[in-house]
Structure 1
């Protein structure tokens, strides 16, 4: 039978596993704190930030929230980031994307203290990841690795195909899966919109991660028997939520597969908490065990 990997359950285990570390840091006077910054009127962004604040409250991480008016000059957002960089109660900073149209988001990211960049998007942290020595693994790719680990999927020596080359998921995940580490050592093919005969690539894979943002791009005809399928896609089509994988046909081929919703999504939020605790540990010089 095909294993349906329950991202909600794995995420709950991650959150539970952070409790001892958070209490140890609190006892040392270094309780983790996550600052969220919103410069957008996008309802989805507002909802997502609220969810992150609730996640923090549930595990004992302090949350701080700053809203910057969408008509404010970019300098106001930069000053907000600078203030949070200097705040010792803030372990991690997350500026919710997108920001106002007149602000360069990449410049905002560059202004975040790399030691508080719990998204892992700062150029210094990207460089460390590519070098094989990540300070923080980006939340969604790290969540994918945790799902693979939970499902007992061996990555060492495996052929992995990542479909999608974004800076948020595809590229960092390819680096992490290929990294010389217990949860890496895969042979990785990074595919994208210009890939010729995508199906020929995915049929050769032991692991397929679909992260292209194209509804149902990958279907069962493009997969080999026994493959592990991780669907990062989250697409709204005519009021229906679809992944980047055509679930029913893929499930017929896969030994393990993530659903949408309820697969990768909960893991992204859980790994943000993980990175915030890790940042607090590093800043305080207090060693903790992370799940």
Structure 2
């Protein structure tokens, strides 16, 4: 049995209060005649993606948000994907939408992403919104990085001036998170190092880190011997073995870490909550100045 000395960074209580905040504002928007709407576009029939999309629509129902969906088969075309994006861009009842990623081979996700109206970019991944992030201007923040910020704030983990190592440089997590954590702002202002596949000795960097965030989708990549005692360790990347969710951080890291995300219920719930916060904020902006949210 493991000697679990670390405290768990559960994301569920954070997701609960964020979604309750969203639910309240959805009702306020309805009083102004605005029925918030989220759209999803799914290409193919990947089982994990189907499950994620289904969960999003179930959450829409629980929050009182309209939900819209367009499915494109594996043998569909890139033009069908672009047409789906255009349809949601033009639908006034859809205030935010996303393309479930990854898409099958033969589809160009980035070209479809570029076609999304930035004012309806629920994932915060459109180049325009990523540019606003670089400039520290208001806009939708990519959901998983936003969720990690919420976790650090909720548990009062001050990382100012601390050394943070992010493993992975992807556009959905590693890259935007490195920008957010290095900014001169609350719950940030850290020294950030981004590791990637070109780094041969990952442990050289992680062993000196106060905070480790893994975002590569390799099961149990971060092991106890890579972590200094008392470090904060979050798994942003996941993979699947059948129906079993496998985080990047091995559960045995709890023997040495001070804080750690659990295998289930860590960053995942906060990622979903941030999607709905983004959608609600986009709806607010699109209905101004007629909205009354006081």
TM-score (norm 1): 0.93
State the Cα distance separating 1:134 from its structure 2 match: 4.7
CA shift in 2, pair 1:98/1:222, >3 Å: closer
Query: What is the CA–CA distance in structure 1 between the aligned matches of 2:51 and 2:180, rounded to whole Å?
Result: 29
CA shift in 2, pair 1:184/1:63, >3 Å: same
Q: Report the counterpart of residue 35 of structure 1 in structure 2.
A: 39
Query: What is the CA–CA distance in structure 2 between the aligned matches of 1:6 and 1:288, rounded to whole Å?
Result: 30
Query: What is the CA–CA distance in structure 2 between the aligned matches of 1:101 and 1:251, rounded to whole Å?
Result: 38
State the Cα distance separating 1:183 from its structure 2 match: 2.5
One of 263, 269, 273 as aligned partner of 1:270 = 273
State the Cα distance separating 1:50 from its structure 2 match: 0.6
Query: What is the CA–CA distance in structure 1 between the aligned matches of 2:40 and 2:228, rounded to whole Å?
Result: 42
Aligned to 1:185, what secondary structure does the other structure show? coil
Query: What is the CA–CA distance in structure 2 between the aligned matches of 1:288 and 1:130, rounded to whole Å?
Result: 29
Q: Report the counterpart of residue 60 of structure 1 in structure 2.
A: 64
Aligned to 1:128, what secondary structure does the other structure show? helix
**Alignment pair present for 1:120 and 2:124:** yes
Query: What is the CA–CA distance in structure 2 between the aligned matches of 1:32 and 1:202, rounded to whole Å?
Result: 43
Tell me if structure 2 keeps the 8 A contact 1:234–1:261: no
CA shift in 2, pair 1:237/1:39, >3 Å: closer
Query: What is the CA–CA distance in structure 2 between the aligned matches of 1:148 and 1:64, rounded to whole Å?
Result: 33
- Alignment of structure 1 residues 96-245 onto 2, 5 Å: 96-237=100-241, 240-245=244-249
Q: Report the counterpart of residue 260 of structure 1 in structure 2.
A: 263
Tell me if structure 2 keeps the 8 A contact 1:151–1:256: no
- 1:188-214 deviation per Cα after TM superposition (whole angstroms, max 9, x unaligned): 111112224211211221111011222
Query: What is the CA–CA distance in structure 2 between the aligned matches of 1:104 and 1:23, rounded to whole Å?
Result: 37
State the Cα distance separating 1:92 from its structure 2 match: 0.4
Tell me if structure 2 keeps the 8 A contact 1:227–1:254: yes
State the Cα distance separating 1:129 from its structure 2 match: 1.3
Query: What is the CA–CA distance in structure 1 between the aligned matches of 2:245 and 2:281, rounded to whole Å?
Result: 33
Tell me if structure 2 keeps the 8 A contact 1:157–1:185: yes
Q: Report the counterpart of residue 6 of structure 2 in structure 1.
A: 2
Query: What is the CA–CA distance in structure 2 between the aligned matches of 1:19 and 1:66, rounded to whole Å?
Result: 24
Query: What is the CA–CA distance in structure 2 between the aligned matches of 1:175 and 1:6, rounded to whole Å?
Result: 24
- 1:108-145 deviation per Cα after TM superposition (whole angstroms, max 9, x unaligned): 10110001011111111111112222511101111111
TM-score (norm 2): 0.92
Aligned-residue Cα RMSD (Å) equals 1.8
State the Cα distance separating 1:237 from its structure 2 match: 4.3
State the Cα distance separating 1:57 from its structure 2 match: 0.8
State the Cα distance separating 1:276 from its structure 2 match: 0.4
How many positions carry a matched residue from both structures?
288
State the Cα distance separating 1:77 from its structure 2 match: 2.0
CA shift in 2, pair 1:233/1:73, >3 Å: closer
Aligned to 2:193, what secondary structure does the other structure show? strand
Aligned to 2:131, what secondary structure does the other structure show? helix
